[in-house]
Amino acid sequence: MLWMLEKCFLNLKIIQLQQLFRSRIRIKVEFVCWVAKNTRPFNIVSNHRFKILMKTGNTEYYLPLLTTVSCDVHLVFACLCQHITILLCVTCSFKTMEKPKQYTRNMMSSFTFQWTHRPPQNTDPTSY
């Protein structure tokens, strides 16, 4: 799952990154995973005690802002929705047919939904 999140961040047209920015992206990915998996509110990163705890031992540790984490979670959600839409092709059809004459209402309708799984073209996470 981490490679998918990193792909979403790296798709922002940032190809040549310095090591500092790479570590910042990695930190942002970890924060998004932590907020999403543990259902934490976004404002946990602006908590004073949380900042003290995170900077223990390394005062230069990068902590993203509340708005950054919120935007990153929304970005990941949009990327994952798009990826799921590509993987699942949903086909919907609507049929109308006539019933035999002994029924009072002689029209019948039916809906048909079909989900077909399309495997991704490239599943290698290092190629993104």
State pLDDT tens for residues 9-23.
665 545 444 455 557
Tens digit of pLDDT for each residue in 20-65? 555 777 888 888 877 777 777 777 777 787 778 777 777 777 777 8
Instruction: With a cut of 70, say whether residue 101 has pLDDT above it.
Output: no
Number of Cβ within 10 Å of residue 76's Cβ equals: 22
User: What pLDDT, on a 0 to 100 scale, did the predictor assign at position 109?
Assistant: 52
Tokens for 12? 């922002």
- Using CA atoms, how far apart are residues 42 and 47, in angstroms rounded to an integer? 10
User: What pLDDT, on a 0 to 100 scale, did the predictor assign at position 118?
Assistant: 59
Residue 128's pLDDT band, with cuts at 50, 70 and 90, is very low
User: What pLDDT, on a 0 to 100 scale, did the predictor assign at position 1?
Assistant: 55
Q: What is the DSSP string of 69-118?
A: HHHHHHHHHHHHHHHHHHHEEEEEEEEEEEPPTTSSS-EEEEEEEEEEE-
Residue predicted with more confidence, 124 or 61: 61
Instruction: With a cut of 50, say whether residue 80 has pLDDT above it.
Output: yes
State the average pLDDT over residues 73-101: 68
The proportion of the chain whose per-residue pLDDT surpasses 90, expressed as a percent, equals 0
